[in-house]
Every structure is written in C-alpha cells, then in structure tokens.
Chain A
Amino acid sequence: MHSRNVMPEQALETQLLELNIGPQHPSTHGVFRMEVVLDGENVVKLKPVMGYLHRNHEQLAEDMTYIGSMPFTDRLDYFCAMTNNLAYAIAVEKLVGLDVPERAQYIRVIMSELTRLVNHTAVTGFLLNDLGAFFTPTLYAFREREKILDLFEAASGSRMMCNYMRFGGVREDLPDGFLEGACEVVDYYPKFLDEFEKLLTENEILRARTQRVGILPKELAVSASVTGPMLRASGVNYDIRKVDRYSIYDRFDFKIPLGSIGDVYDRYYVRILEMRESVKILDKVLRDIPSGEYLSPRGKAISKAPRTFKPPKGEAYGRIESPKGELGFYLVSDGSVNPYRYHVRPPSFINLTILEDMCLGHKVADAVIILGSVDIVMGEVDR
C-alpha cells in the first residue's frame, strides 16, 4: 500500500563548520595555515596563521657582517634568489653611497628579468595545480625554468641559492657562452608563451573558475599596501621599476600591463603579459651589454675584507620591484661591522592582509585558488 507520505517542509538545522586548512596541505604553497569558518561550502570567516617557517633571519643578520647576510637573502623568496640579493645590495649601496659600473648594471638587469620569468612561469604552474590541472602545466613551466636555472648555475654556481650580487656590482663576470645561451632561451620564450597561452588563456574551465572570483577593488588594494602583479591586476599603475627608476631601467621601453577587474583571471593574465615585457627588456639588454668592470673597486675591497666594512651611522630603505611585489630592506647602522637593525619588507606577507576580504562569500575551493593567485612564498612571509 503506497501512502503518499509527504513530509512537511522543514528547514534543515545547520551549523557553521570550523576547518583548518594546513599547515600541511597540497595547496597552501608552503607551511601556511588558514582557519576558515564555513557555512556549507561558503567561506564566512578566514584567518591566516603563519610563523611556521619563521627562521629568525632578522636576528641572525644582527650578528653577522653586512656581506655575510647576502646568502641568507637568497632564502627569503626562494624562487627569486637573484632579486632578493639585488634588493639588499641596493639598500646597502644607498646606505653607503656606492656606485655600480655599467656592465654590472646590465648583468643585474639580465638576472632580475630572468628571475621574473622563472617566478611567473612557476606561479602560473602552481595556480593551475590548485585549479585541478594537476601537474601538467607545472611540467611545462618547469621545463622552461630548468633552462634558466642552467644559466644561473653557469653564472653563480648554484641553481637556486645564487648569492650573486655584491655591494657595488656582481660577484663575478658572466662566463663564456652565457650570453649565447641566454639569447637562445629568450628567443624561444615567446613561442613557449604562445603554447602555454593556447592551452590556458582561452580555456573555458580556467575562465569559468577564475573570472569574477576574488575581486580586489582598487582603493582597498592601495590602502592595504598591496604591490606587484596583484596590485596591477586591480588597475593601479604602480611599478617600482618605472617609479623609482633604480638601476638602469629608465633606458628600456616596456609597458606595464594593467588589469581591469582584479579577479584571479586578471592576476594570471597580468603575469603572462609581464613575462612578454620581460622578454622585450632581455632582448635589448643582451644586445647592448657593454664590456667593463663587473664590480667596483670599493666593492671588491668590501668583498675581500668584510670586517673592515663599517658604514657610517645612519639608515637606508632600499626597494625594488621583485616578481612578487615591492621587496624592501630597511637598514640601521650604528657604525659597527654588524647592522644594528635589519628589516625585510616582504611583499607576500603584506599582500596577505586582504586575503580574507577577497575570499568572503566564495566557496572554499575558490579560497584555495585566490591564495594561489596572491603568490606567496613562506620563506618571505615568515622570514
């Protein structure tokens, strides 16, 4: 006997779910923990917890000579060792007033832009890992990255932790064959980017999942001290290479790609366009590099005898446009051989300020890709 036993409509009683994502999680880009409160799958509250990789870099620097901290700056943003070194070298050069010879400036620009390529391909690969295209784009990205790491190994002796910049120049001159190798990589790069883009930029799954997700409005981005591709994806035209014109960037003609909405798709696409601009800069630098000194005489003296380098009492704040944002070093010198205060202004740490604001209202799967698009590296967040 069938009775049409229809239950009256009752609202389901639900509770908010407190979930801990990390610190060991495939998608947290390192040891990063997010405490999320979920209503079903929608994020109601999100609090980041960091400090799992706090390695006391600033405290160690106070016990070492200035040049002794250079290898430790490699390990801050471990993808981009060269730009970390450069930021520290620029800060010390500002503190003391050191000049850098022409050839060294060109070499520095080559290394910075190659680092930008390495970083942006790797982060695009990781963003797509988070989206679920597990590892295939990463394999393509790392294939190109390996070619550039070979160049780094030839120049500095190490694939990742290069320790290549010195105060007043670079540690040693480029080896024979470096420029030809770099030209090969840079000539092939636009074709690689075309292949990458053909698979990704018009991909409907990528578009459906990343457009209109994690929108960051302009005013909030500026107020929250966001810098780097994340800021430019929200439409703010601020690139320290153009604003401060440090090193010799004023000699190159490159555009600053800007996004319009500030969602995850814009951040991904701004990085692809920035890679194309970096290729343009590299084309010109590799052609125009002059011969000359790779390290100024005063710089050579500092490298040979680190304990004689005692900057005068004072302070300096040196900043560069690293691939992740504004990387700055604040140094206070008391006239002795160790810095009195050594502070790193990390872009990833400060870009995380508005993570919660971007994730509210989205699903927890979107929170994961929003984190991926912020592009954090825990070595920098926690120092």
Chain B
Amino acid sequence: MAIDEGLKHELRRQGIVVMKLEELYNWGRRSSIWPMQFGLACCAIEMIATACARYDIARFGAELFRASPRQADLMIVAGTVTKKMAPQVVRLYNQMAEPKYVVAMGACAISGGPFNRGYNVLKGIDRYIPVDVHVPGCPPTPQALLDGLMKLQEKIDTQHLADVEWYSRAAPREYPVPRFGPRGLEPQYNPHVWQPPEPTGIYLSSKPKEQKRTPTAATT
C-alpha cells in the first residue's frame, strides 16, 4: 500500500514519522556500519587516514573500528591476502555475525594486484568469501574508500527483509577454510563463491602460460 508523499510530509510536520519497517531497519544498519580492524598492508594506512580527522569516516557512522569480529558488521579487506593469511581471513569472516559485508579494498584484495605472479599471493579474496563492493586503486585514496562505503550503503538500502539471505535457511553459515598444502592452498578456490571466467579468446593459445623460471644456458 503506497502512502501519499504529501500525507507523509504533513504527518512529519506533526511529529509522526511513517515508514516501512524495512526502511527503518535498513536506515539503522546503513548509518552505523562498524568495520573490523583488519588492515593487512599498505591499504590499511589509507583506511586509517580515512578514519582520521581530514577524511572523517565518522560522518558515515563508521568510526568505531571493532577489534573483535563478533562485534563488527563490515570487513574491509585492505591489502594483499597471501596464501599464508587466507585461512585466517576466512575464519574471521566466519566468526562475524550476520548481517555482514565485505569490501575488497585495493587491487591486491580484488585480484592479487601488482603481486599477482607470486608464489605466495592469493589472487583475490573473492575466491573464498563473497565480496560486496570492490574499491580499485593502489592504494585507493580515502575519497575512493568513502565512495565504496556509500555504494555499500546504497546496497543495504535495497535489501528487503523478506528475502535477505541471513534469515533464509539455505544460506551458508560457514565458508570452508582452506588448508595449507605442500605447494599452495587446498582447495584453490571455493566453487560456490567464485568460478574461473569463460574463455574470452583474447589469449592466442589455449595452453597455460609457460613458467618463466626455467634456467637458461647462457648467462652472459
């Protein structure tokens, strides 16, 4: 049942606010997103700069960085996720209480970033946990992070109480934590969360790229 805007306005002037329960619920959640203190690398410093006086994340209600994942709503994965750290990231994500969100801040969290070719770098945290907002940059400026936060707030505004995943029975409660294998993590990605993309035909050959570290005979 849609309420006439003029009526709403009139009632508001009398001190009566009329809104859907879901709007109230979302307004409360989007205005007080508490991030978890979880800086991994250089992007963490820009995150701290966002929380400081000049860029002031407190305007968005998010100045309270909680140390414990149980009390946080948002995990800003700021920095490179290495294979050694990835199981810990997934464990922390599992420990957060719903409703929870993930912002992948910086090129490294999105796809491995400039360190993409390393033997210890995970190519993006979205291989194991679902990510809501990707903020590109290396590092993203504080303004970019605030823009990402605003996009997250817009996403929260569109969530309907009737079909949010944390109230449904089918939602995954725990994402499987990868194990340390002899050469990397096992499994290499979580198939429910991420699938390798379809071939685009850009690569000229369909064979995997050869490893560059084979020794060559000539060194002069």
Contacts and interface: CB of A to CB of B under 8 A. Distances in A.
Q: Do A and B come from one complex?
A: yes
Interface of A: 23-26, 30-31, 51-57, 59-60, 63, 71-72, 75, 78-79, 138-139, 142-143, 145-146, 159-161, 313, 334-336, 340, 378-379
Given A53-B79, A378-B41, A60 B117 contact: yes
B85 A53 contact: yes
Interface in B101-158: 114-115, 117-121, 138-139, 141
B121 A55 contact: yes
Contact of A30 (B44, B53, B54, B219): B44
B53 A142 contact: yes
A340 B138 CA distance: 27
B26 interface: no
B184 interface: no
Interface of B: 37-42, 44-46, 48-49, 52-54, 67, 79-80, 82, 84-85, 88, 92, 114-115, 117-121, 138-139, 141, 212, 219-220
Nearest to B66: A26
A334 B220 contact: yes
A201 B82 CA distance: 39
Contact of B115 (A51, A56, A142, A159): A56
19 contacts: A26-B67, A30-B44, A31-B40, A31-B85, A51-B82, A51-B84, A52-B40, A53-B41, A54-B84, A59-B119, A60-B115, A71-B114, A75-B42, A75-B114, A138-B52, A139-B52, A142-B54, A146-B54, A334-B220
Given A55-B80, A139-B53, A161-B139, A379 B41 contact: yes
The 4 closest A-B pairs by CB, nearest first: A56-B118, A78-B42, A142-B52, A52-B85
Given A60-B118, A335-B220, A160 B46 contact: yes
B37 A79 contact: no
A30 B38 CA distance: 8
Residue from A26, A75, A138, A139 having most chain B Cβ neighbours under 10 A: A75
B84 A55 contact: no
A138 B82 CA distance: 28
Given A63-B212, A160-B139, A378-B41, A142 B48 contact: yes
Given A142-B48, A146-B49, A160 B121 contact: no
Nearest to A79: B45
Contacts of A340: 219
A199 to B, nearest CB: 16
Given A30-B44, A75-B41, 14 more contacts: A52-B40, A52-B88, A53-B40, A53-B82, A54-B82, A54-B120, A55-B41, A55-B121, A59-B118, A72-B114, A78-B42, A159-B141, A161-B42, A378-B40
Contacts of A79: 45
Nearest to A74: B42
Contacts of B79: 53
B118 A55 contact: yes
A156 B51 CA distance: 24
A24 B88 contact: yes
A53 to B, nearest CB: 6
A297 to B, nearest CB: 28
Contacts of B82: 51-55
B45 A160 contact: yes
Contacts of B92: 24
A55 B115 contact: yes
Nearest to A71: B114
Nearest to B85: A52
Nearest to B92: A24
A56 to B, nearest CB: 3
A115 to B, nearest CB: 13
Contacts of A56: 115, 117-121
Contacts of B54: 142-143, 146
A335 B219 CA distance: 8
Contacts of B40: 30-31, 52-53, 378
A72 B117 CA distance: 13
Given A30-B39, A30-B44, A52-B85, A161 B219 contact: no
Contacts of A334: 219-220
Contacts of B115: 55-57, 60
Nearest to A62: B213
A175 to B, nearest CB: 19
